[in-house]
Amino acid sequence: MAEVVVVDDAEAAGSLVARHIAARLEQQPALVLGVATGSTPLPVYAALADLANQGLDLSSVTALALDEYVGLPQAHPQSYRSVVTREVVEPLGLDPAKVHVPDGDPAQIETAGERFEQRIVDSGGVDVQILGIGTGGHIAFNEPGSSFGSLTRVKTLTEQTRRDNARFFDSVDDVPIHSVTQGLGTILRARHLILLAFGESKAAALAASVEGPVTASMPGSAIQLHHHVTVVVDHAAASELRERDYYAWAQLNKPAWQGI
Ligand code: PGA
């Protein structure tokens, strides 16, 4: 079972996860960090940026993005290449040569999945993967029905995902229909998964993912198959978890030597 940590707000979650990553970096400066996009991971990046301003050196980190829209030019402000550059690479002082995002160029999309899988292998595999969750339960752009064995490939976005992401565009019609996304099988190979969720709108998908049946209809439930998962959520996102009291009890009694 995943470890579930309920915190007061997104800022507390960001600081918890950033401190964990900083501690990992002390052991392993060339950490391979899996970076998610969207609003959820922003507090983690903000807290890491603060630590970087205080002297934390992230220049040896390799960062691998989860996904990319198909057909948005890389320079488009909402391409995940641009988002990762703006929200992660620049504020954290990462080396751009060590930052990789799946290639959403339609001219070479047929090989994009395979090339990105090879990139992950060449990097030595993801040590810590940050994840958000969609309101419909997707992780990365693995929409309901995605195979637990899936690798990086093109995936069609649901209408719900396009509506959810329309806030980043002028209108929902501007949200691309296709993405190239790490598969659930890819994500399950990362050594440690940290899934974050904030707000009421995530509560149902989060509860189904953490406590519901393991099913491809709820892609987030794939985390139940992983040996090291930390779920960090605020009270609103935790509100539909049946075992909330147990998670709090486990945190209170957590052995001092055990990190997340
Ligand atoms: P959000 O998206 O972090 O912007 O809520 C999460 C997701 O769609 O995976």
The conformation of residue 9, written as its DSSP 8-state character, comes to S
In contact, 26 and 60? CB cutoff 8 Å: no
pLDDT one-digit tens code per residue, 136-153:
999 999 999 999 999 999
Residue 255 lies in a domain: no
Residue 251 lies in a domain: no
pLDDT one-digit tens code per residue, 64-84:
999 999 999 999 999 999 999
Domain of residue 107, CATH code: 3.40.50.1360
Q: What local confidence, expressed as pLDDT, does residue 196 receive?
A: 98
pLDDT one-digit tens code per residue, 11-54:
999 999 999 999 999 999 999 999 999 999 999 999 999 999 99
Report which of 131, 134, 141, 236 is spatially closest to residue 192, judged by C-alpha positions. Answer: 131
- CB of 212 sitting under 6 A from ligand 1: no
Residue 247 lies in a domain: no
- CB of 79 sitting under 6 A from ligand 1: no
56-84 burial, b at 16+ Cβ within 10 Å, e below that, comes to: bebeebbbbbbbbbbebeeebebbbbbbb
Residue 53 lies in a domain: yes
Q: Residues 160-181: what's their mean pLDDT?
A: 97
Residue 241 lies in a domain: no
The C-alpha atoms of residue 169 and residue 176 are separated, in whole angstroms, by: 10
The C-alpha atoms of residue 204 and residue 152 are separated, in whole angstroms, by: 26
Residue 194 lies in a domain: yes
Nearest-CA residue for ligand 1 atom 2 is 38
Indicate the pTM of the whole model: 0.97
Residue 122 lies in a domain: yes
In the reported structure, the alpha carbon of residue 91 is separated from the centroid of ligand 1 by a whole-number distance in angstroms of 20
Specify the number of domains making up the chain.
1
Structure tokens, 226: 């992983």
The conformation of residue 174, written as its DSSP 8-state character, comes to G
55, containing H or E segment: none
Alpha helices in 69-172 (DSSP H): 80-84, 90-92, 112-123, 159-165
In the reported structure, the alpha carbon of residue 47 is separated from the centroid of ligand 1 by a whole-number distance in angstroms of 19
Domain of residue 168: give its range.
3-128+136-235
Residue 42 lies in a domain: yes
